[in-house]
């Protein structure tokens, strides 16, 4: 009797295992589509079935779609100029070469970059950070640079101008970088600091 019931359920398409399987395939398909869009639109290397930062990546794609609707002519492969980055740095009282190296490390100066974590634009602002800084369009080069510079200035004050800790906090977040004392940074952040400040930068932290 049990086998007959299961066969009838499968025939009607309401077998619980079949329903779960189809639902799982739908979720995997949506996840793959999201990550593929981030990889193609944002020019980043994203694992196709990565379940991390789903909300942030979805928000980044929504922001990019809004940007493209407003500026369809500006969605090519152009880069921000070094002169523009230096100008923003001087306006905010930051060392121009420091901001330039950070921007190059973050996005290679590409204004439409989206990271595997959903960070956006030249300065790779996370959706929450962009909202906090009131950056309306994080894919607009001027807005992204201005917002990133303001955030960097905040970190500059917090760490007393210690470039190593400022760079580390920009990458890992200030919650993971103490103002003083020993640093226990993830390998990714250690490599990030070295890219910006040189091989021996961490020794001077």
- Catalytic positions are 106
DSSP labels for 133-178?
Answer: TT-S-TTSHHHHHHHHHHHHHHHHHHTTT-HHHHHHHHHH-GGGS-
Task: Find out whether 161 and 169 touch, Cβ atoms under 8 Å.
Answer: no
β-bridge mates for residue 76, sequence order: none
Are 88 and 122 contacting, i.e. CB atoms less than 8 angstroms apart? no
Contact at 8 Å (CB) between 116 and 98? no
Q: How far apart are CA 6 and CA 16, in angstroms?
A: 10
Structure token digits, residue 111? 């204004």
């Amino acid at each position: 009797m049990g086998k007959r019931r299961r066969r009838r359920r499968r025939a009607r398409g309401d077998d619980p295992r079949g329903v779960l399987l189809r639902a799982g395939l739908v979720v995997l398909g949506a996840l793959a589509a999201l990550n593929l869009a981030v990889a193609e639109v944002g020019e980043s290397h994203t694992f196709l079935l990565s379940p991390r930062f789903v909300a942030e990546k979805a928000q980044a794609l929504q922001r990019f779609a809004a940007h493209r609707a407003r500026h369809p002519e500006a969605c090519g492969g152009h880069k921000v100029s070094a002169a523009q980055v230096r100008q923003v740095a001087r306006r905010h009282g930051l060392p121009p070469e420091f901001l330039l190296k950070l921007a190059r490390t973050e996005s290679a100066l590409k204004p439409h970059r989206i990271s595997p974590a959903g960070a956006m634009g030249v300065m790779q602002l996370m959706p929450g950070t962009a909202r906090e800084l009131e950056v309306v369009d994080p894919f607009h080069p001027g807005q992204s640079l201005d917002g990133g510079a303001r955030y960097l200035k905040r970190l500059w004050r917090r760490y007393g101008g210690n470039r190593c800790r400022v760079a580390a906090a920009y990458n890992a977040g200030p919650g993971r970088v103490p103002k003083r004392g020993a640093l226990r940074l993830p390998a990714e952040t250690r490599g990030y600091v070295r890219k910006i400040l040189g091989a021996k930068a961490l020794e001077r932290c």
